[in-house]
Amino acid sequence: MPKTDDFLYQQLADKIELLIEKGVYAAGDKLPSVRELHQEHNISISTALQVYTQLEKRGWIAARERSGYYVQYTQRQRPQLPAITTPRAAITTVKVNEQMQRIHDGRQYKGFISLDAAAPANELFPLNKLHKALLHAVRSHKAAFVHYNDLNGYEPLRKHIARRTLSWKGAVNSSDIIITNGCMEAISLCLRAVAKAGDTIAIESPTFFGLLMTIESLGMKALEIPTDPVSGISLEKLEDAFRKKRVNACLFISNYNNPLGSCMPAAGKKALAQLLHKYQVPLIEDDTFGELHHGPERPATVKTFDKDGLVLHCSSFSKWLAPGYRLGWVIPGRYYTQVQQLKFMTTFSTGLLPQLAVHSYLEHQRPDLHLKQLRGALALQTQQMARAIQQYYPDDTQLSNPEGSFNLWVVCNKRTDTWELHRQAAAHNIGIMPGTLFTSQQKYKNCMRLSAALPWNEDLTRAVQTTGKLIRKML
């Protein structure tokens, strides 16, 4: 016979599971606290904890630190995932700058509802603590920051970045790091260090339009590699390109690809590093979103497995701390000298005051506590956005299920034209990112990237509902 407590927690777990299945509790909803469960059902605190532990094991709920327990998607509730992408195996000339100009020209800022936000909302950043850090930097360093800065960046900040690489098992010294004006400058410097105009860069399909714009501006070409929405690029197709000597370098977002959300597993990253070594092809790794994992552990990087300096690792503080400070960095490996020389010729150095402020924040505040809170908020907002898409979009809509960051890749019915949707949505003061921005080929016309970077509210709900109605009218 089972013990009474065993019977109680199983019985109550079954009841809550049934409520979730029936939609009484939907994905993203917060469940009663452990104490509320204890009081409402007259059970012990330990039994209440067992109820939620059981539901976690079944995959129905997830705990958020300092917040409680929330319903999460299960396979039965989740919309269909997009298929592995199938770009043409053709080297292409990149042309996305003109499309981006259309986005900027059509933007209306007053009362604008952004379903395409590029960074979390201000209220998700530690603004007061950053302000204190900035004042501390000004008072402590007086006028030192008005002079030219070290070409490689502020040494104490580089030391702190080197320490933070331990979270992905990096073995990095401060002397390996160069501070840049955001991650995009780091990537541009790296591309120029490993390739020249006319060379071909292997990229994910789809990939971030900013990377495509940089490739275009440097006169380089692209080869898109098929990409799985969960596990990332096809290593088989990539090796085939290496074997045929079709690419000069790679440019991948291995953790939470923007826009697809894929995250290459550690085994895949290790295998990729081995391929780079075998064929001596450099990889520029954009790890901008690596800190924004929804789960308990930060994913590894390809740089984690890099044995001979072929991985040029790029990241920044933009997505989790201070977008406007424009602070990024690069760990260029064997290309350090080339990147350093290009940095000198391009911007010479990065502004010292933002570096002093961020260093002060990192040294005197609790960045890991802020990160935990931010990750929890973004995980919840991503669930809420996905839930709204499932509710208001046609039933055949496919949707990515990222385990980090805040970007969702939406695949609509083939009759949907997301540029036309963009035009119509803009008339309602709503912004989306059409899918063709994320490719060098004529693809993804029925796809778009939506962002869950902003705290959920009625305006966002209305925006998803409105775009859902506009899509239905196209069918």
In terms of residues, how long is the chain? 475
Q: Is the pLDDT of residue 335 over 70?
A: yes
Q: Is the pLDDT of residue 42 over 80?
A: yes
How many angstroms separate the CA atoms of 116 and 322, rounded? 18
Q: Are 62 and 72 in contact (CB under 8 A)?
A: yes
Q: What is the pLDDT of residue 207?
A: 98
pLDDT at 428 over 60: yes
**Residue 404, Cα to own-chain centre: how many angstroms?**
6
Q: Which amino acid is at 134?
A: L
Distance CA 202, CA 363 (A): 38
pLDDT at res. 78? 62
pLDDT of residue 250: 98
Residues 6+ apart with CB under 8 A from 246: 91, 200, 223
The tens digit of pLDDT for each residue in 284-317 reads 999 999 999 988 899 999 999 999 999 999 999 9
**pLDDT of 120 strictly over 60:** yes
pLDDT of residue 1: 33
Contact 246, 223 (CB under 8 A): yes
For residues 417-436, b (16+ Cβ closer than 10 Å) or e, as one string? bbbebbebbbebbbbbbbbb
Tokens coding 138: 């000004």
Distance CA 455, CA 117 (A): 11
Over 60: is that where the pLDDT of 200 sits? yes
pLDDT in tens, 373-405: 999 899 889 988 998 999 999 999 999 999 999
Residue 110 confidence (pLDDT): 67
Q: In this predicted structure, what is the pLDDT of residue 101?
A: 85
What are the beta bridge partners of residue 427? none
Q: What are the boundaries of each domain within the chain?
A: 4-71, 94-122+369-474, 127-367
Residue 13 pLDDT > 90: no
Q: Give the highest mean pLDDT range of 13-27, 102-116, 458-472.
A: 458-472
From CA 168, how far away is CA 424, in angstroms rounded?
Answer: 43
Rounded-to-integer distance, Cα 361 and Cα 230, Å: 34
Return the pLDDT at 2: 40
- What is the C-alpha to C-alpha distance for residues 126 and 116, in angstroms, rounded to an integer? 22
Predicted local confidence at residue 300, as pLDDT: 97
| pLDDT of 323 above 80 | yes
Q: Quick one: average pLDDT of 422-450?
A: 96
Flag the least confident range among 107-111, 259-263, 457-461.
107-111
Q: So what's the pLDDT on residue 62?
A: 82
Q: Are 381 and 406 in contact (CB under 8 A)?
A: yes
Write the pLDDT tens digit of every residue in 124-133.
Answer: 999 999 999 9
Give the CATH superfamily of 94-122+369-474. Answer: Aspartate Aminotransferase, domain 1 (3.90.1150.10)
CATH, domain range 127-367: 3.40.640.10
- pLDDT at residue 53, rounded to an integer: 85
| Amino acid residing at 462 | R
Determine the pLDDT at residue 6: 55
Q: Considering the chain, what percentage of its residues have pLDDT values greater than 70?
A: 96
Q: How far apart are CA 261 and CA 409, in angstroms?
A: 7
User: What number of other Cβ atoms are within 10 A of residue 165's Cβ?
Assistant: 21
**pLDDT at residue 108 in the model:** 59
Residue 467 has a pLDDT of 98
At 443 the pLDDT is: 96
In CATH, what class is 4-71?
Answer: mainly alpha
* pLDDT over 90 (residue 212): yes
3-state secondary structure of 207: coil
Which stretches of 161-220 are assigned E, i.e. beta strand?
Answer: 178-180, 200-205
Picking from 75, 60, 78, the residue whose alpha carbon sits closest to that of residue 19 is: 60
pLDDT at 76: 55
Q: What is the per-residue pLDDT for 103?
A: 84
How far is C-alpha 317 from the chain's CA centre? Answer: 12
What is the pTM assigned to this prediction? 0.87
State the DSSP H helix or E strand holding residue 192, giving kind and residue range, or none if neither. Answer: helix 182-194
How far apart are alpha carbons 417 and 445 in whole angstroms? 6
Question: Looking at residue 130, what is its pLDDT?
Answer: 97
Contacts of 234 (CB under 8 A, 6+ apart): 84, 225, 226, 227, 228
